Amino acid sequence: MAHFFNTSIKGGIFLIFTKLKNLEQLTTSEQTLVDYILANPNFILKNDPTTISEEAFVSVSTIYRLLNKLNFNGLNDLKVQLARGLNSYKDMSDPIDINYPIIEEDTHYQLMRNLRSVYTETLTDTFNLNSPVLLSQLERVLTNAQTIEIFTSSANIYLAKNFQFQMQEIGRNVLVPIDEYMQRLTAANSTPDHLAIVISFGGRGAIVQEILGNRKIVWKEG
């Protein structure tokens, strides 16, 4: 079975605001709490669960359910991540829709400014999602893997193929199955000396959950 290296749970500073925005399958009260945290991060930093629950109009148990979904041991873990991500979040004083950064009514100046914002946010998120410890762990698993398998779709295939080319230049074996049948077949034939990399947009895509759920793909938390 191949090892899948999960970089989003431990190791490195996850940009907490991005993580909160991407949470799925929340109850109504949990979504209310998420919206409140995003709107009032400084209040969260300064107060206890009881005070937060009263101000956000949710129960204390809702707070702890959300903390559990965020893989935090308690409110202090959330506060640490909020403090670390707050400066980056504040820099986005004029947020744009990352999926549609340019609209027909934009002037040429707005177009340039929005593209700058997209690239700046991308660099900020990339920096916050990584750490020296995480990069060292990634280096180790990439080096030890006999075969690297990349599962992705759409435009990300071109990125994966470029990575495949660069790795093959230094003698590393990289597989990039393109159609769904070949992706399923590759996952089914994975062995313990393989490393699986899944590239997706927020875990979306019909094949993503099937690949991750394959009994031969083992999550390895870094």
User: What does the pLDDT look like over 166-214, one tens digit per residue?
Assistant: 999 999 999 999 999 999 999 889 888 999 998 887 666 667 777 777 6
Number of domains into which the chain is organized: 2
Same domain, 115 and 200: no
Same domain, 138 and 204: yes
Tell me the C-alpha distance between 99 and 50, whole Å.
37
Which one, of 124, 197, 205, 125, lies nearest residue 163 by Cα?
197
Tell me the C-alpha distance between 39 and 154, whole Å.
34
Q: Which domain holds residue 55?
A: 16-96+107-128
Write down the pTM of the prediction: 0.56
Same domain, 136 and 88: no
Do 18 and 124 contact (CB within 8 A), yes or no?
no
Q: Is residue 102 part of a domain?
A: no
Per-residue pLDDT of 32-75, as tens digits, reads: 999 999 999 999 999 999 999 999 999 999 999 999 999 899 99
Do 183 and 151 contact (CB within 8 A), yes or no?
yes
Q: Which amino acid is it at 186?
A: T
Same domain, 120 and 213: no
Residue 98 has which token pair?
């990352």
